[in-house]
Amino acid sequence: MGKRIDDDLKKHLVKLVLEEGKKQTDVSKDMGIPLGSLRRWVSEHRKKVQAEQDGVEYLTPTEQMKLQRDMEKQIRDLQEENEILKKAMHIFSRSPQ
């Protein structure tokens, strides 16, 4: 498994490519970063900038998956609460005998 690169370094490398005009291959070799990873980061940055200009929020696939998991958990929690309320309503609506 490869080394983990923090977000600040990713932003710096993308800035080197986009703002300073350095070649992706040169930055990749100099920093010891796989070229495919650097290209993906640059592409994601461009998509994010384009989405911001269009007024749309851009989410990476990882962010989308996390958001979906969070929403699914919230749905399960709400369904559980709904079942509890149904049972409570049933208990309290019975006429006393």
Nearest to 63 by CA among 75, 51, 81, 76: 51
Domain ranges of the chain: 1-58, 59-97
**Stated pTM of the model:** 0.55
How far apart are alpha carbons 86 and 19 in whole angstroms? Answer: 59
Which of 1.20.120, 1.10.10, 1.10.3470, 1.20.1280 is the CATH number of 1-58?
Answer: 1.10.10
Task: Read off the pLDDT of each residue in 28-46 and give the average, rounded to a whole number.
Answer: 91
How far apart are alpha carbons 74 and 94 in whole angstroms? Answer: 31
Q: Give the alpha-carbon dihedral of 78, 81, 83, 86, to 10 degrees.
A: -120
Give the tens place of pLDDT for each residue, 46-92.
888 887 777 777 777 888 899 999 999 999 999 999 999 999 998 88
